[in-house]
Structures are given as C-alpha cells and as structure tokens.
Structure 1
Amino acid sequence: MSDSLKIDEAGVSQDSKNLALLNWIGTIFFGFIPGLVLYLIKKEDAYVFDQAKESLNWSITAGLAYIAATILTFVLVGALLFPLIAICHLVFCIMGAVAVHDGKFFRVPFALRLIK
C-alpha cells in the first residue's frame, strides 16, 4: 500500500486530510470556490465531501453577513461589521485547517446549514 493511501486511526487517509486542508486554506483566499469544486467532484470521499460541504456552508454564511453589513453601512453600523466578519472568517478557516490536519470533523459554530 502506498504512503498516500494509508489510513490513520480515525479512518481518514492522508490524501483526504490533505484535500480537506487545501479546501479550508483555499476558502480563506477564494471564498466558496474550493468548497464548491470539492463538493461537486469528491462525492466518493466522505471526509472531503463533508468538509467541502462545511466550508461551503460557512462561505455562504459569511457572504450573507457581508451583504447584511453592506446594507447596514447606510446606518453606519455596517462599517464596523466588515472587519469583524473578516476576522471571524479567518479564524474559522484556520480552526478548520487545524482540525482537518488531525483528521477530525470540523463544524463552524455559527454557519447556516443550507447545504445538507
């Protein structure tokens, strides 16, 4: 068995962990695109599919928060929300990357579960 196909104690292969890690890191920079791509092409890998779905749900939630902040800029509250949303996005993506590096399933606490 090759090194890339070895499965650890949690039952997650190193390839799956690497793809899930790239997914969360890519979500920091490219938003919903990495999650959507992996969600559509990696349906046979349950771990990658689950983490792609989670990052996609988080990206949609963050996008909706940015839309709400844009609307709220007309009452001057939204300008304060943009940095807060950006920090939450960065922190949750890093938490996701750290969790999948260890082969754990990660759930963003505030994400809307629109994709099931």
Structure 2
Amino acid sequence: MNEFENATAPPPPPAGTAPQEDRTVALIVHLTGIVTGFIVPLIIWLVNKDNPAKAWLNDQSKEALNFQITVFFGYVICWVLAFVIIGGLLMPLVWLVNLVFCILAGLKANEGVAYRYPFAIRLIK
C-alpha cells in the first residue's frame, strides 16, 4: 500500500440514516464555511469528536474543516501571487469555488448523504 491510495477517503459506511438534528448541524457547518472559514467546522468537530453517536456529523465536520483549510491555502497562494497580479485575478475564483462547493455540500448533508469535496487536503483524519 503506498501513500497515494488513501488520497481520497471514501465516505463512511451507512449505519442507518443520520438524525435530522445531525443533518441540520452538518448543513450549517458546510454553509458557514463560506463566511467564517474553518472556525465553525473546527468547533463542531472538537465538540463531537469523542461522541460515537455523532459519527456521521463528526465525519462531515472533518470534511468541511479539511476543505476550508484547503481554501485557506488557496487564499494564501493568491495573496503571494498578488505581487505578480495573477493572484488578484485568482482570488475571486477561489471564493466562487468555495461558495459553490459549500452550497452543494450543505444540500447533500441535509439529505443525509456523506458528501466528499472533489479536492481537499485531508489533514484531519
């Protein structure tokens, strides 16, 4: 097994449907990433990481947290590239990608589907 086989983690196996409360919190976690970045997903993950009854919510908060960290890295790269003008042009694109994927993730999470962002650096496992 090499290090690249685990690059994209599969969603957790379905262990029944997620409770409506967890689906609503997951929706909020994904959508607040648009405005607050990684703060809300980090708080929800830290609160629920040791609770086995919240495994689905824990998974979704980790997924949102990893994506927001990736977006943060994108903003940092754009800021560095702003000195050669290209970063200023890419920053709205990073914001738009964040907006679209957070909305898609929130809608899927509200349906009870374990959403995986198409690209994210998975630092939190």
State if a TM-score over 0.5 links the two structures: yes
Within the candidate set 35, 41, 51, 2:41 is matched to 35
- Aligned partner of 1:60 in structure 2 is 69
- Aligned partner of 2:101 in structure 1 is 92
- Aligned partner of 1:3 in structure 2 is none
Runs in 1 of length 4+ with deviation above 2 angstroms?
none
- Aligned partner of 2:22 in structure 1 is 16
Structure 1, unmatched stretches of 5+, are 1-8
TM-score, with length taken from structure 1: 0.89
Q: Give the secondary-structure state (helix, strand or coil) at the position aligned to 1:92.
A: helix
**Distance in 1 of aligned mates of 2:17 and 2:74:** 35
- Bigger Cα displacement from structure 2, 81-90 vs 9-18: 9-18
After TM superposition, give the deviation of residue 75 of structure 1 in Å: 1.1
- The count of corresponding residues between Structure 1 and Structure 2 is 108
Q: Give the secondary-structure state (helix, strand or coil) at the position aligned to 1:106.
A: coil
Quick check: 1:71 aligned with 2:80?
yes
**Distance in 2 of aligned mates of 1:64 and 1:51:** 20
**Distance in 2 of aligned mates of 1:83 and 1:27:** 16
**Distance in 1 of aligned mates of 2:70 and 2:29:** 16
Within the candidate set 110, 113, 116, 1:104 is matched to 113
Within the candidate set 23, 26, 30, 2:32 is matched to 26
Q: Contact 1:28 / 1:89 at 8 angstroms: preserved in 2?
A: yes
Quick check: 1:115 aligned with 2:124?
yes
After TM superposition, give the deviation of residue 10 of structure 1 in Å: 4.3
**Distance in 2 of aligned mates of 1:29 and 1:57:** 16
**Percent of aligned pairs with the same amino acid:** 39
**Distance in 2 of aligned mates of 1:94 and 1:61:** 16
* Aligned residue identity for 1:35: P
RMSD over equivalenced CA pairs, Å: 1.2
After TM superposition, give the deviation of residue 20 of structure 1 in Å: 0.4
TM-score, with length taken from structure 2: 0.83
Q: Contact 1:10 / 1:103 at 8 angstroms: preserved in 2?
A: no
